[in-house]
Chains A and B, each alone.
Chain A
């Protein structure tokens, strides 16, 4: 048998599967590089001399190792104010949002809720129709929430999508018999929800908490529209000034003055990305196991 013939039979039998595996793993490895390299580049650049970065000397490991970028960041007062604000918004906003959405979802999951159908419709409509930017803006202003700390936490806490996902979870995971039994023992709705339903729903609570928390941490739209005060600004607004607006301004003009400003801007560009993204990246592996489950629950509704 010729080599060609052997090869052909190998390919035809298990060989074709082996070829498939090779191609598949190569494809996957290539994707890993495409995703990881930009992130890796930011990390090594944050430890490198800015002039080495800008002349393209940095691409595999830090060049002219320095912590200057992080030192410059320490002196960036606004960034730390933003950091503090975002921490507070995220913690309060996640606690409040989780409670409000899950409580409503549980009530809507109960078949004995009078007007359950119409109430459900009331929750679904805003997913498809909204008053739009300006009417919402006017409402917020009218309630005195413009440039107010609480605008970041209260008005937009309800997410119909989250309510539906949680409701679906309760419907399929909290058997009605449980409520019947609790009722016989004299347990009221509120106590039942807090002491029995919530402890049984850790999976959905973790997924929703992650979604809400990431949303708060990463959001800049509401702050852009509703906040004016520097003291109230969240991290993402400060980051926008460092990463996006600054770069455009620095593209214009030359001279020594500009050079110093440019160097400073370049210094904190990379370190600010690391410092602002690190908390989520640390948090993420712990919740990852719930992802598939969470998306599945969401998909059931479709």
Chain B
């Protein structure tokens, strides 16, 4: 049927397309709600991005508002402000630190779990390590504050045990990134290991048998079977995260911010929020956001190009 399609006249062809659409009307009905929501709340705002180049006034609307003079004025304003260097540096510091410290641990966890033969302990271990992932960001930051409070927190007690005065870690700008990253690892390393466990469970057991017959120890089996087979998964995840390097989640950072640590905790997303929502400078905030999104997109495309070179198969 399909190869006869090309023999038909254009009119017949479009009629058959219509036939197939109307025959599958139900499918389009299923697709419609999601499609409409995407168009309204994802694509319409993409068009709204042009206010980054405009002197937006509510009364004039997006199209009616005059262009900035020069059109990139909002961007130069950001590049010249002292917050530019600060927010970019802080964003990069948090994301690179998270990447370097947070990337290897899930792999290690998965390797360890994979070697456990006591099934009940293994299940318990998995249940417990996944658990913190489900704690909300608000509660997580609440926990951090409780434990790090110099007066009553566990840290405070530990210091007092040695007769020292506890520092106020939440008010210490140089401690911010360490607290952010390591509590993140505490919360998510277990959950992030699932994907490696899934990869490990797909390894052919005869490989292990052959290695055991050859007298390979457990460590050697990990070194020569598990690790090489995890490498592709790890590479893909690394690439995905590298393409997201300018994206640091807003929620946790915003909750952890205070006046004392602001010099290291102000990142692009929190700054966008403050400029846009709190001080209502719509076009300036949109410009900062657009700058961030563009860098991300560029990084993603670059990284995708690189994997295509290495792997022969890009991500998309």
Give the interface of A toward B (CB within 8 A): 16-17, 20-21, 24-25, 27-28, 31-32, 34-36, 38-39, 41-42, 53-56, 59, 99-101, 103-104, 106-108, 110, 112-114, 119, 122-124, 126, 128-140, 143, 154-158, 163, 188-190, 192-193, 214, 217-221, 225, 236, 239-240, 242-244, 247-248, 266, 269-270, 273, 276-277, 280-281, 284-285, 288, 291-292, 295-296, 299, 302
Contact = CB atoms under 8 A, between A and B. Distances in A.
29 contacts: A20-B115, A21-B115, A25-B116, A28-B112, A35-B131, A35-B190, A53-B152, A56-B154, A56-B160, A108-B31, A110-B24, A114-B24, A129-B293, A132-B285, A133-B289, A134-B276, A136-B45, A138-B51, A140-B41, A189-B29, A190-B29, A221-B250, A239-B136, A240-B255, A243-B146, A277-B139, A281-B134, A288-B127, A292-B198
Interface in B124-139: 124-132, 134-139
Q: Is the interface of A mostly helix, strand, loop or mixed?
A: helix
Contact of A190 (B30, B109, B139, B297): B30
Contacts of B37: 100, 154-155, 157-158
B276 A218 contact: no
A25 B121 contact: yes
B141 interface: yes
Contacts of B47: 131, 135
A135 B48 contact: yes
Closest 10 CB pairs of A and B: A131-B45, A189-B26, A243-B142, A135-B48, A132-B289, A104-B34, A218-B136, A54-B152, A135-B45, A56-B157
A299 B132 contact: no
Interface string B279-293: 000100110011001
Given A133-B273, A266-B152, 17 more contacts: A16-B219, A28-B121, A38-B147, A39-B131, A104-B30, A113-B31, A130-B293, A138-B45, A158-B38, A158-B42, A189-B29, A225-B277, A244-B145, A248-B258, A270-B146, A277-B136, A299-B199
A221 B38 contact: no
Given A56-B157, A132-B286, A292-B198, A239 B142 contact: yes
Nearest to B315: A302
Contacts of A129: 46, 293, 297
A134 B285 contact: yes
Given A32-B128, A134-B289, A107 B233 contact: no
Interface residues of B, number: 95
